[in-house]
Structure 1
Amino acid sequence: MGAVHTFDHDFPSASEGKVIPCGVYDVRANAALLTLARGSDTGELVGDSIRMWWNRIGRYGYGGAKQMLILADSGGSNGCRVRLFHEQLFKISEHLGITIRVAHLPSYCSKYNPIDHRVFYHVTSALKGLVFHSIEAIRIAASRTATSTSLQVKVAILQRIYRRGVQATGRFLSGDYIRHDADLSKYNYTTTG
């Protein structure tokens, strides 16, 4: 096979779309579910990724759990001020019948989020030097992620196309579904369905 010519930077106008990765990392099990989606990075995408993790992995190891702790960055689609993300967490909590506690890392500290250096770093290494022609090619390559610490990475494709601009519902915004902690209330809160 001859040399493959590619652009050395991202050129969205030359692509057929964009793939958004989203991950859920179980620190205790050293296992992650990486979801790949088309469209935009939204609170709905994060919610769907957490649901998929629970349905495919979490419920088997934590089926009797009464609480779930989520460690998240402060910005982006799962940011501490993103109401759509809050609403998705409430819906998950309501569906599962468990309390979800969220602890956000302070702004500009995402490098301390375990998923960044324990999962995404290794996934990025597994993808290095590859040219992707489809979302399925990304899924296959990312599934080959391997580490000396026996990290397990499962990769799934979310079929939905996530649209930018979707807002939390009026019902959620007018309700009292999120309970902020007394200490560091901007970053720490719970929701119970």
Structure 2
Amino acid sequence: MLRLSMDAKARVKIGSFDRGGKSRDGAKADDHDYNPKTTVTPYGIFLPELDELFLYFTESKVTSDFIVDILEDFWLEQKHRFSDIQTLLLNQDNGPQNSSRRTQFMKLIVEFAHKHQVNIRLAYYPPYHSKYNPIERTWAILENHWNGSILDELETALKFASTMKWKGSHPVVKLVHKTYENGVKLTKKAMAQIEKQIERLTNSTHEVFPNLGNWFIDICCSKTKVI
């Protein structure tokens, strides 16, 4: 089983704005940030056991499609390293775009599992507990790294992200150019078909997490079941 910790950082305004820190080169920022050139959202995939970080930046919306697209990009490029892995454990908060009740997300993640013949366990953090998601620790490092610097261009933000270090290593940084829109939903009939392909562990008697079944969903596609 390979554990992936996933989440988005708050949107970042791009422009000559004060970020609250101290600049090493004495550069001065604008007093107000009313009209940014653009805004960008960093979304991370973190491998806690390996201390590896993959950062995807988007100027568009963070939607269900975006989340599964970057997961697929990650897996297509990295799966050769994990040929013995049959299950991906996805740690996420229970946000509006990746909730197990978000029909579009569940449709796409089920399609991903079947396409790549890999089991998926969705392991959500309950409300007010997302701070325990390991990816959250990396955002503090990124913020400290570019704090005090003027992110006046998108390329500047990407460069700062690529030069940060987590446990001595730089992250893999990518800019996603695709535009995403909210509001994609399945009909009740279509979602009923998705429900047949997943297992909600609400009534689980598993000795490790008997009271957390609401936050665990299994999608089994390989010959070996999720453990």
* TM-score, structure 1 as length reference: 0.85
Kindly indicate whether the alpha-carbon contact (under 8 Å) linking 1:24 and 1:34 is maintained by their aligned counterparts in 2: yes
Q: Which moved more, 1:103-112 or 1:120-129?
A: 120-129
Residue by residue over 1:54-101, the C-alpha shift from the partner in whole angstroms, topping out at 9 and shown as x without a partner, is 1223x1321232111111111242234322222221121111101101
TM-superposed CA distance for 1:171, in Å, is 6.8
TM-superposed CA distance for 1:29, in Å, is 1.1
Please point out which of 118, 121, 130 is paired with 2:149. Answer: 130
Distance 2:108 2:126 in 1: 21
The aligned residue for residue 61 of structure 1 is 81
Kindly indicate whether the alpha-carbon contact (under 8 Å) linking 2:87 and 2:120 is maintained by their aligned counterparts in 1: yes
Extract unaligned runs of 5+ from structure 2: 1-24, 205-211, 222-227
Distance 2:119 2:190 in 1: 17
Q: State the one-letter code of the partner of 1:5.
A: A
Please point out which of 179, 183, 192 is paired with 1:165. Answer: 183
Residue by residue over 1:116-169, the C-alpha shift from the partner in whole angstroms, topping out at 9 and shown as x without a partner, is 01x22212222212222333222111011114x324411101110121222247
* TM-score, structure 2 as length reference: 0.73
Whether 1:82 and 2:102 are equivalent positions in the alignment is yes
Please point out which of 84, 107, 126 is paired with 1:106. Answer: 126
Q: How many pairs are equivalent?
A: 187
Whether 1:35 and 2:53 are equivalent positions in the alignment is no
SS in 1 for 2:59: strand
Kindly indicate whether the alpha-carbon contact (under 8 Å) linking 2:29 and 2:150 is maintained by their aligned counterparts in 1: no
The aligned residue for residue 67 of structure 2 is 46
| Larger-gyration structure (1/2) | 2
Distance 1:99 1:5 in 2: 48
TM-superposed CA distance for 1:30, in Å, is 0.5
Q: Which moved more, 1:152-161 or 1:170-179?
A: 170-179
Distance 2:87 2:219 in 1: 10
User: Aligned Cα RMSD in Å?
Assistant: 2.3
Whether 1:186 and 2:186 are equivalent positions in the alignment is no
TM-superposed CA distance for 1:32, in Å, is 1.2
Kindly indicate whether the alpha-carbon contact (under 8 Å) linking 1:17 and 1:39 is maintained by their aligned counterparts in 2: no
Kindly indicate whether the alpha-carbon contact (under 8 Å) linking 1:30 and 1:150 is maintained by their aligned counterparts in 2: no
The aligned residue for residue 6 of structure 1 is 30
SS in 2 for 1:18: strand
SS in 2 for 1:129: coil
